[in-house]
């Protein structure tokens, strides 16, 4: 049969999960369909829209393009697992202040990238924010509110 | 005095009070706004006496608002809740709001038969403004009356605040304690609305009610549905409507681990698997040949040619504001211009791909879907499968964007047809590629305009012919009043304006409703020609328009914008400003965009300033958000939006082939809101209709030309 499976162990949101799964199955679908974490979204399947963004050892990645076999022992963090992170809490708060959310489908992915950015660079410049976030599509077009939310979470009041 | 709508008051089994009333079902914002202005509501709906909205208050004073409006991200649930909380005199935070569409909704202990809901046309807040406040105010008055009787006080000495009624001598009672008293009262015929000066909620920016759920990943979209024993169906379909499969080899597909079945219909395949990935891998192994691909000569150029051939056909006059034939007017005028405008097919390209979950079980059909008209399919399902409509249960999901896509019913019916073949819940998912391939496309348009100006270059006559495609089922009844959106309400006085249209039947593709509907087309044509006429007259485009504007609100929104924008201060040869304005569905919008086109052919959108008059504003920040959003959407389509067809199939299959603006492309947008006491009017799609003509103006000035077609980006090279 095509696509034989293997036993792998993932660490997702600090929990170890054992799965019998084909190693080339994208992490996105493992998360959504096998583990049931549907906060990570499918938008394009080819790494263009960013809706599927999760963290692997703190790095924001497009999970639709990461075969689960490549995850190894890296820690997977999804939108469901960020609530106790202090920087994430600032982002979630600033997201409710600037209100970029409309349909909301792309927002978890945007927040995951914003979180990785602020963890690496607590005071990003305008260009650094834009460069980090350009991998995301928002069909509702709320980019300037997303930008302001990131600035607000970082305590930035002016463009630099 | 407001006319009585169909309303009733009843108790549920758990002792909660429910006030049922009627929202108008159609989102024709301008019509509803006109009705609001004349203080008549719901007249045209008197043939449909039912309640479709419910205010439920329990003994603990918790308010649940059940309404038929579909929240697609446009913030209408929040706005409706604000209107409700204001007139009902309850705290906004005490209101929970849900879409109530299922007549067998088990979450609430009452049932209502309802057949039809639709949310479209940016019409929700406008249509709800009077009936919702009337219902809430009626209930508030009844609580005060009931409390006054208990306090043995006169009504005038009692008042409501935050879900309590207060009376003299420090008496107070929560609404929840008055339920058994008000049930015996008559619903008042005359309603006392709160004064605008007393508003605590309306007119002040409030957070959306759905933000937290969405940003924490807990909102359940159609793609997220998980049910016991559910399987996933991967849809394999054709762009060609009702295409036929002429050959299909699924042997390798069935070998893929996790693939459980390959469901077949003459017009499509559904690969069923334990999960999406397995089904998608199965799809890669499928060998399939479509009749449409084999035989179709449909290409983009064929469609373009077919549209232009429409000029030879008879057209239907839909609008003419003069007794003089327009051709005579044109002949009598000093100068005539002949311009033709072409606009492409567009995708909706919402970020959540289409899906629908269906479960036929016992004698029921249960659906989990996201739709702008979620109950429309019930009639078809009932007839086709001989199911009692009471046994068709619809659950509504959060929607990840629609822009008109989810007005069409095709995807729901396709899911139903496949789910009927199996005995488990089937979640039918359209991959991104299938979502694009099978979109209900925004039609292409060809507009031919003949314009006459007098010796002062003032436009006096326009003969406007439009050609488009329609769905074959609409061919015999093609009159679409939306064809005139933005034209019959234009802010300019043009003495002789005639609009006529020709529709060509194009049965092979699915056509549907796009963002901004027909106004997006009309305003591109109208504002492009206005900018061009101003140029030929060697006049400033704002001043040129001011000489034609007779509508004071249009003039006021233009003035509001000009007070904020440094207009006419062109910074360089490569940075120019463009302008467009519109009066659509009761609202007024004027936009300036500053755009740059470098010698390396980079287009940079520096800044957008936009003024909006949409009457009384319920939630200012969300109105601003909607305008920003629609502008970005419109700019995306203006620059890059284009669907191409080859052998009948949509060529664009993912976002690498259908470019949309990202954070590094999008301009900074400043929105200015007019303040007045006019009835609320349309907001959601307004920004889209002015985006393309304003941008075309700016880029055209840089290049010394006037664009007559979209999209713009690919034409930069052609006109260097």
Least confident of A36-45, B161-170, B282-291, B380-389: B380-389
The sign of the CA dihedral B651, B657, B662, B664 is: negative
ipTM value greater than 0.85: yes
CB-based contact (8 Å) between B624 and chain A? no
The verdict on a CB contact (< 8 Å) between A101 and B277 is: no
Using a CB-CB cut-off of 8 Å, the residues of chain A touching B631 are: 141
pLDDT of residue B45: 32
**Residue B107 scores a pLDDT above 90:** no
Query: Which residue's structure tokens are 């017009």?
Result: B267
pLDDT of residue A121: 98
Q: Looking at the complex, report in whole angstroms how far the Cα of residue A25 sits from the nearest Cα belonging to chain B.
A: 7
pTM: 0.94
pLDDT of residue B294: 73
pLDDT of residue B39: 37
What backbone phi and psi angles, to 5 degrees, belong to B612? Answer: -135, 135
Residues 6+ away with beta carbon under 8 Å from B477? none
Measured distance CA(B663)–CA(B712) in Å, rounded:
19
Q: Give the HSE-up count for residue B160: Cα atoms under 13 Å, Cβ half-sphere.
A: 29
Measured distance CA(B242)–CA(B510) in Å, rounded:
10
Using a CB-CB cut-off of 8 Å, the residues of chain B touching A52 are: none
Over residues B365-387, the pLDDT tens digits come to 999 999 988 888 888 899 999 99
CB B715 within 8 A of CB B692: no
Beta sheet of B259-265, edge-to-edge order: B259-265, B268-273, B231-236, B426-429, B355-361, B364-369, B392-396
Measured distance CA(B230)–CA(B275) in Å, rounded:
9
The verdict on a CB contact (< 8 Å) between B654 and A33 is: no
B476: confidence class by pLDDT, cuts 50, 70, 90: low
Over residues B38-49, the pLDDT tens digits come to 433 333 333 344
Using a CB-CB cut-off of 8 Å, the residues of chain A touching B217 are: 37-40, 78-80, 108
CA separation, residue B492 to residues A63, B208, B251, B482, B545 (Å): 52, 37, 64, 19, 7
Measured distance CA(A154)–CA(B371) in Å, rounded:
38
In angstroms, what is the C-alpha Rg of chain B? 27
Question: What is the end-to-end Cα distance of chain B in Å, rounded?
Answer: 63
Q: Which residue of B has its CA nearest to A136?
A: B662
Over residues B634-649, the pLDDT tens digits come to 999 999 999 999 988 9
**Residue B25 scores a pLDDT above 80:** no
Token couple for B627: 């305008």
Instruction: Identify any residues that bridge with B204 across adjacent strands, giving them in sequence order.
Output: none
Nearest CB partner across the interface for B401, out of A80, A83, A139: A139
Q: Looking at the complex, report in whole angstroms how far the Cα of residue A6 sits from the nearest Cα belonging to chain B.
A: 12
Measured distance CA(B178)–CA(B168) in Å, rounded:
17
Least confident of B18-27, B159-168, B695-704, B706-715: B18-27
Higher pLDDT, B510 or B326: B326
pLDDT of residue A5: 72
CA separation, residue B511 to residues B111, B351, B447 (Å): 35, 19, 18
**Residue A153 scores a pLDDT above 70:** yes
Q: Looking at the complex, report in whole angstroms how far the Cα of residue B225 sits from the nearest Cα belonging to chain A.
A: 9
Residues 6+ away with beta carbon under 8 Å from A105? A41, A43, A51, B214, B221, B350, B351, B352, B400, B401
pLDDT (average), residues B321-326:
97
pLDDT (average), residues A125-131:
97
B100: confidence class by pLDDT, cuts 50, 70, 90: confident
Query: How many contacts does A have with B, using Cβ atoms within 8 A?
Result: 192
Over residues B5-24, the pLDDT tens digits come to 578 888 888 889 999 888 77
The beta-carbon contacts of A150-158 under 8 Å, at least 24 apart in sequence, are A150/A91, A150/A94, A150/A114, A150/A117, A150/A118, A150/A124, A152/A94, A152/A97, A152/A98, A153/A87, A153/A90, A153/A91, A153/A93, A153/A94, A153/A114, A153/A118, A154/A118, A154/A122, A154/A123, A154/A124, A155/A123, A156/A123, A156/A124
pLDDT of residue A160: 65
**Residue B3 scores a pLDDT above 60:** no
Over residues B192-251, the pLDDT tens digits come to 999 999 999 999 999 999 999 999 999 999 999 999 999 999 999 999 888 999 999 999
Q: What percent of chain B has pLDDT over 90?
A: 74
Averaged confidence pLDDT in chain B: 90
Measured distance CA(B449)–CA(B341) in Å, rounded:
8
Residue ranges of B 241-280 with Cβ closer than 8 A to chain A: 252, 255-258, 274-278
The verdict on a CB contact (< 8 Å) between A140 and B631 is: no
The verdict on a CB contact (< 8 Å) between A139 and B403 is: yes
Query: Which residue's structure tokens are 């052998």?
Result: B647
Residues 6+ away with beta carbon under 8 Å from B82? B92, B201, B202, B206, B618, B619
B116: confidence class by pLDDT, cuts 50, 70, 90: low
Token couple for A80: 């469901």
pLDDT (average), residues B651-656:
98
Residue ranges of B 635-694 with Cβ closer than 8 A to chain A: 636, 654-656, 660-664, 666, 668-669
């Amino acid at each position: 049969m095509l696509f034989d499976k293997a036993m792998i162990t993932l660490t997702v949101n600090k929990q170890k999960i054992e799965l019998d799964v084909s190693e080339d199955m994208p992490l996105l679908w493992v998360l959504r369909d096998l583990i049931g974490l549907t906060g990570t979204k499918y938008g394009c399947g080819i790494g263009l829209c960013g809706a599927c963004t999760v963290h692997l050892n703190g790095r924001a990645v497009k999970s639709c393009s990461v075969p689960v076999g490549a995850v190894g022992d890296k820690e997977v963090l999804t939108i469901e697992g960020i609530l106790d992170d202090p920087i994430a809490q600032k982002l979630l708060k600033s997201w409710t202040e600037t209100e970029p959310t409309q349909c909301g489908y792309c927002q978890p992915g945007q927040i995951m990238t914003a979180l990785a950015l602020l963890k690496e660079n607590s005071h990003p410049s305008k260009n650094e924010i834009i460069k980090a976030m350009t991998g995301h599509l928002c069909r509702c077009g709320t980019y300037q509110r997303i930008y302001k939310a990131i600035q607000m979470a970082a305590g930035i009041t002016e463009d630099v | 005095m407001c006319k009585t709508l169909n309303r009733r008051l009843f108790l549920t089994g758990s002792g909660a009070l429910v006030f049922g009333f009627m929202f108008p079902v159609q989102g024709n914002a301008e019509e509803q706004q006109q009705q609001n202005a004349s203080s008549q509501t719901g007249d045209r709906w008197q043939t449909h006496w039912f309640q479709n909205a419910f205010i439920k208050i329990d003994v603990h004073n918790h308010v649940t608002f059940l309404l038929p409006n579909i929240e697609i991200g446009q913030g209408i649930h929040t706005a409706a809740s604000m209107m409700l909380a204001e007139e009902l005199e309850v705290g906004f935070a005490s209101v929970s709001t849900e879409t109530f569409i299922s007549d067998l909704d088990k979450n609430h202990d009452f049932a209502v038969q309802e057949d039809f809901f639709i949310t479209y046309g940016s019409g929700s807040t406008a249509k709800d403004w009077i009936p919702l406040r009337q219902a809430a105010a009626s209930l508030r008055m009844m609580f005060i009356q009931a409390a006054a009787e208990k306090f043995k006080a006169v009504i005038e000495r009692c008042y409501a605040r935050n879900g309590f009624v207060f009376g003299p001598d420090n008496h107070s009672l929560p609404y929840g304690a008055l339920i058994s008293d008000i049930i015996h009262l008559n619903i008042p015929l005359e309603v006392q609305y709160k004064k605008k000066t007393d508003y605590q909620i309306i007119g002040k920016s409030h957070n959306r009610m759905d933000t937290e759920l969405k940003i924490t990943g807990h909102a359940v979209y159609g793609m997220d549905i998980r049910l016991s024993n559910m399987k996933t169906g991967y849809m394999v379909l054709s762009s060609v409507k009702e295409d036929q499969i002429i050959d299909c080899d699924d042997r390798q597909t069935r070998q893929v681990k996790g693939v459980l079945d390959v469901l077949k219909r003459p017009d499509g395949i559904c690969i069923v698997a334990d999960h999406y990935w397995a089904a998608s891998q199965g799809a890669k192994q499928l060998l399939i040949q479509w009749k449409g691909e084999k035989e179709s000569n449909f290409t983009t150029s064929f469609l373009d040619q077919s549209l232009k051939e429409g000029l030879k056909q008879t057209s239907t006059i839909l609008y003419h504001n003069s007794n003089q034939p327009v051709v005579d007017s044109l002949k009598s005028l000093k100068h005539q211009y002949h311009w033709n405008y072409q606009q492409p097919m567009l995708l909706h390209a919402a970020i959540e791909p289409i899906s629908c979950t269906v479960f036929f079980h016992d004698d029921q059909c249960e659906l989990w879907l996201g739709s702008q008209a979620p109950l429309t399919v019930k009639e078809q399902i009932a007839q086709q499968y001989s199911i009692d409509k009471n046994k068709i249960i619809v659950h509504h999901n959060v929607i990840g964007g629609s822009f008109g896509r989810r007005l069409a019913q095709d995807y729901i019916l396709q899911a139903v047809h496949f789910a009927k073949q199996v005995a488990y819940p089937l979640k039918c998912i359209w991959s991104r590629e299938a979502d694009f391939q099978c979109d209900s496309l925004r039609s292409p348009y060809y507009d031919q305009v003949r314009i006459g100006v007098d010796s002062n270059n003032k436009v006096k006559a326009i003969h406007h012919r439009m050609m488009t495609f329609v769905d074959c089922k609409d061919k015999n009844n093609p009159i679409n009043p939306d064809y005139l959106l933005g034209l019959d309400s234009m802010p300019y006085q043009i003495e002789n304006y005639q609009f006529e249209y020709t529709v060509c039947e194009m049965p092979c593709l699915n056509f549907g409703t796009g963002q901004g509907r027909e106004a997006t087309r009309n305003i591109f044509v109208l504002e492009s020609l206005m900018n061009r006429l101003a140029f030929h007259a060697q006049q400033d485009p704002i001043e040129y328009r001011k000489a034609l504007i007779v509508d004071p609100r249009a003039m006021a929104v233009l003035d509001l914008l000009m007070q904020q924008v440094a207009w006419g201060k062109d910074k360089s040869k490569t940075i120019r400003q463009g302008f467009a304005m519109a009066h659509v569905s009761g609202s007024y919008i004027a936009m300036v965009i500053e755009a740059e086109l470098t010698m390396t052919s980079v287009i940079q959108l520096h800044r957008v300033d936009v003024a909006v008059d949409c009457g009384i504003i319920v939630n200012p920040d969300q109105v601003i958000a909607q305008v920003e959003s629609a502008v970005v959407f419109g700019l995306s389509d203006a620059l890059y939006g284009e669907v191409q067809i080859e052998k009948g199939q949509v060529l664009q299959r993912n976002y690498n082939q259908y470019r949309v603006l990202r954070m590094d492309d999008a301009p900074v947008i400043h929105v200015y809101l007019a303040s007045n006491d006019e009835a609320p009017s349309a907001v959601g799609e307004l920004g889209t209709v002015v985006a393309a003509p304003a941008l075309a103006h700016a880029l055209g000035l840089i290049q010394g030309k006037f664009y007559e077609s979209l999209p713009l980006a690919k034409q930069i090279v052609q006109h260097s």
